[in-house]
Chains A and B, each alone.
Chain A
């Protein structure tokens, strides 16, 4: 099924100050409902020469047979540790090109830190519990995960042209990611970008898939 992206640029008033720019991105589904867990990446046309920040270590907890968080944004070079907080074993794996790994975690056990050098998407699953999925998006550009309100704000943006890309776990497989170009002016007025996504069912409902009435 085709997806549709509606981008509406709302240019508010005169140009803002040169040093400050704001971009508000809203993500909704075909029914107009706010979509959470979407990753909005903002790629400037001319990347700043600023030095990369220090790598950090992130955690993916496993609690109640669920990866927490579901979607996480990391920068290249960051590390991730998988921690089993359940009373069962988890077989954490990834076949992703960005990073493939496999850990068998006993209850309470944590994996060694995994360094994610390569930008890209790492889909993490549990071979024991198929409904357990987590996504690690490794992006050098600024990126945010939408909350359940489906809206993120990028602030203090230097004026310029940006490519806004949206990814979501339920995007139709094989489709190119929806993206848009946004020009952030010098003024203080916020730029807005709205994305309407056509989504497939949540793959985390795998266990109940046979009972889904579809």
Chain B
């Protein structure tokens, strides 16, 4: 968007700048040319006006002279002059002077002396001030401008004939503001006219100003008056100024007519042109801006639309692009965009297909299943069942038959599932697990579906020369009882499936109570660590009865935990947890310390009791274990033969070499090594050969029904014989009745352990029992 606006703005700015520049250049050019033309026109007009002014003055003088000449023909005047009647002459002159607009008249005699002066009664007898004017008065009309007391006068000299020349009448017409204004009005000369008189003191002084009172002369004080048209500043305005000399007697102070030509006035008619031009410029700007904006929009609109389409593609919306019906570059770009979007859409579909589908079975994968289930739930599916179908023999199949066959097998499984669970949403959750989501299904329907699936999968998979049993197991999690989120349902279904896998029934519903992965177990672990730190656990001891002497000579130490809130926590709950979470070593360390301490106390009391402590597989990975046990024994002063380490066969299988090294170290010290739960684990007779075993403990499953079950009797007897042959002592666990005890004693078993002899007891309770047991039987 910003880019588009920027483009529009730039284009508009470019238009405007170009338009304004061109217009301004044109305006400057036109102004320059016009101004030059006006200046030269002004110079010409000034010259013409100056001549016109002179001509006007001549006209004026002719008019004045004509008037005076008529006056001079007056008989009375002539008679008065001829008879030197000065009083009469004075009055006549004054009378006529008013008529012709003169401010002063003089009668000058032929001798050049003033005879009568209307302005000065005492002037008679004085010499006429401008004799050169009088000299030619009889030859031609004589008129000139003179300056008197810084005022300008137009002098007209008229001869008087009576009938021969008898004198001259000199008329003084004042060249004042009024006259100049009158002249200007008559002639309509443009510009202004002033008269300037040169005064010695201050250069030129204005003697009269025209209508406008421009101050032409005053503004030029100190720089002289131009005799040719020149540009001068008058009151801040530009004027062409020309000083026109006037006809003057030699004896007069110089007087010039100053003509001004206002450039501003001359330019005034062009103001309308300027306004029109400015309006045209504004109009051009508006039109140009609109045009630029429209042009830019025709470009930026599709660009913006393409940008919007690109953002939609970015967001995953591949809907049809706005079609640009244009043949230009933008059209091509839009077309390229369209094909690109198609390509991206196809590629994305392929990637999504790959990401959400299993390539082997072409079923959705777990992620897709979770999404689908969540979406179904959001869409209003109130309840449903999630079936997790596990194939337990898969690792064996891959190892045996290879991946090719395995993939074919999985495809077949998928196909079978599709056939028997047509209404279900099927997905492949992991390599070995399939998921079937049954919306709206209740427990019964879920179980029925699970059974159908099991039926379908139990039929062996057959290929040319192989036939494979997949051993399926189904776990079921119900929605919403077992969880709302698909991920939770999946986990719970998997837990249920593991349960089913481990049991005889290949079908199990999720049971929160037996779920070993429940969240509260994690908090239990934290509390176990705290109990260890604060020594809140304790050891109970289950006696072992020596069958030969019918006396208690050993105990198995078993950890008990009285949780302050939960009460007694079953050992299978927290021991497995400790194993899973890596805390078993701390538990073992505590049990060893507590067991050895108790054994040494018994030893100090004179009770000869062997204490057996269980070690886990993780404990056997610890190379320093023998050293630590040796230190504990030394601290408590307990002979090593009073301690027995009980291990399971499983514990050795993980890291055989390390475990054997640890066990040998213990055996070398004199600590006894007992193999617990013998007979039910994955028998590892091979390892047995290498283990420094001193005792075998027959698992209670063989012992519990020993009195009645003949096969158990055979197994137990065989184990006892085998143990004795290998040099081991043999202990039977889970002895719960007298018959079993007697049978064990009969076949020569060394020790018996079980509820029939005694439950695990606190140390204090055991002290007495160890002494009394013989008497109780």
A interface list, Cβ under 8 A from B: 1, 93, 95-96, 100, 121, 123-127, 130, 132-133, 135, 169, 172-174, 200-201, 203, 206, 209-210, 214
Contact = CB atoms under 8 A, between A and B. Distances in A.
Contacts of A127: 75
Interface of B: 62, 66, 69, 73, 75, 78-79, 82-83, 109-112, 135-136, 138-141, 159, 161-166
6 contacts: A95-B78, A132-B163, A200-B139, A203-B161, A203-B165, A209-B69
B163 A1 contact: no
B143 to A, nearest CB: 12
Contacts, number: 59
A206 B164 CA distance: 11
A169 B164 contact: yes
A91 B73 CA distance: 14
B111 A203 contact: no
A172 B166 CA distance: 11
Contacts of A203: 161, 163-165
The 9 closest A-B pairs by CB, nearest first: A125-B163, A95-B82, A174-B110, A214-B140, A173-B165, A123-B164, A200-B138, A173-B110, A133-B163
Contact of A214 (B79, B82, B111, B141): B141
A62 to B, nearest CB: 14
Q: Counting chain A CB atoms within 10 Å of each CB, which of B73, B111, B136, B165 scores highest?
A: B165
A70 to B, nearest CB: 12
B139 A1 contact: yes
A189 B124 CA distance: 53
Nearest to A175: B110
Given A173-B159, A203-B163, 19 more contacts: A1-B136, A1-B139, A95-B83, A95-B166, A100-B82, A125-B163, A130-B161, A132-B163, A169-B164, A173-B110, A173-B164, A173-B166, A174-B111, A174-B112, A201-B138, A201-B139, A210-B66, A210-B69, A214-B141
A95 B160 CA distance: 13
A132 B164 CA distance: 11
Contacts of A133: 161, 163-164
B162 A95 contact: yes
B450 to A, nearest CB: 147
B164 to A, nearest CB: 4
A125 B136 contact: no
Q: Counting chain B CB atoms within 10 Å of each CB, which of A93, A124, A133, A135 scores highest?
A: A93
Contacts of A95: 78-79, 82-83, 162, 166
A123 B163 contact: yes
Nearest to A133: B163
B306 to A, nearest CB: 94
A135 B75 CA distance: 19
Nearest to B168: A173
Nearest to B141: A214
Given A95-B78, A174-B110, A174-B111, A130 B138 contact: no
Q: Counting chain A CB atoms within 10 Å of each CB, which of B69, B135, B136, B138 scores highest?
A: B138
Nearest to B165: A173
B247 to A, nearest CB: 14
Contacts of B165: 173-174, 203
A133 B136 CA distance: 21
A210 B162 CA distance: 18
Contacts of B159: 173
A200 B134 CA distance: 13
Contacts of B79: 95
B138 A124 contact: no
